Amino acid sequence: MKFQIVEDNPQIADAVSMALEMRWPEAALVVANNGEKAIKMAEQEKPDLIILDLGLPDIDGFEVLKEIRFFSNVPIIILTVRDEESDIVKCLERGADDYVTKPFRQLELMSRVQAIMRRHHLVSSQVLPSCETLHFGQSIHVFFVGKTRVSLTSTEGIILSHLLRNAGKVVSLSSLSEVVWGDNYSGSNEAIRVYIRRIRKKIEATPDNPSIIITHPGIGYSIQKPR
Ligand code: CA
């Protein structure tokens, strides 16, 4: 296992490294202290998970996230002092898997990392669900709508597989929150909405007027089984 930390503040980078080392002593750690290095490193080192600071000296974390998503679906956790909802939404829209705000509590960061790794491995080891022309490829990162291939992040794949496994039923927001974050920490319903919006952009012909993932206002979402 390999973790990549992107952080320009050496003290925070050390604190994150130490926390990861305590929990995963065997894991390899690579650290980038600016955005350009971070993108190159993600491409060359192929980490299993990236912890990404938003405020970097050269290009900001939003840009780094966008660039990395052009070539990789590696799970990315944003680490940021900005806890404004709009920044968090912007990160999720650009394909972040989760976020932790600074000053971070070690336990919370570790739980988030662990939740992502666990759910990723869990879903990868299961038989991936399908429904008529909707099906996964060889991993949760690859999805087909008919013959059209789309690429998904871990979180998108986990949400879509949960909806597909329950095709024909309404899946509640709290049930989606549980598959994404486990029962220790839960994110906001707003975050779930952003993930759904991202998935729709990828799989729906008309994302604003969806025909695959149906919204049940205030309750949750469903994928309809074709009659
Ligand atoms: Ca910083």
- Express each pLDDT in 77-124 by its tens digit: 999 887 777 888 889 999 999 999 888 888 889 988 988 888 877 777
Give the Å distance between the CA of 82 and the centre of ligand 1.
11
Coil, strand or helix: which one is 196? helix
Please name each of the domains of the chain with its CATH number: 2-120 (3.40.50.2300), 127-223 (1.10.10.10)
Kindly list the distances between the CA atom of residue 193 and the CA atoms of 31, 88, 98, 109, 159, in Å, as whole numbers in the listed order: 32, 12, 13, 23, 11
Residue type, 210: P
Q: How far is the CA of 102 from the centre of ligand 1 (A)?
A: 10
Is pLDDT above 70 for 226? no
Report CA(178)–ligand 1 centroid distance (Å): 30
User: What does the block give as tokens for 43?
Assistant: 């491409």
**Span from the CA of 37 to the centroid of ligand 1 (angstroms):** 14
Residue 3 β-bridge partners: 29, 49
User: Considering the chain, what is the average pLDDT of its residues?
Assistant: 91
From ligand 1's centre to the CA of 215, what distance in Å?
37
Tell me the CA–centroid distance for residue 12 and ligand 1, in Å: 9
Query: Beta strands of 74-185 (E only): which ranges?
Result: 76-80, 98-101, 130-131, 134-136, 142-145, 148-151, 171-172
Tell me: pLDDT of 224 over 70: yes
Q: Is 134 helix (H, G, I), strand (E, B) or coil?
A: strand
What pLDDT is stored for residue 185 in this prediction? 61
Q: What is the CA(54)–ligand 1 centre distance, in A?
A: 6
- Cβ(118)–Cβ(182) below 8 Å: yes
Interval between CA 218 and ligand 1 midpoint (Å): 37
Give the separation between CA 68 and CA 38, rounded to whole angstroms: 9
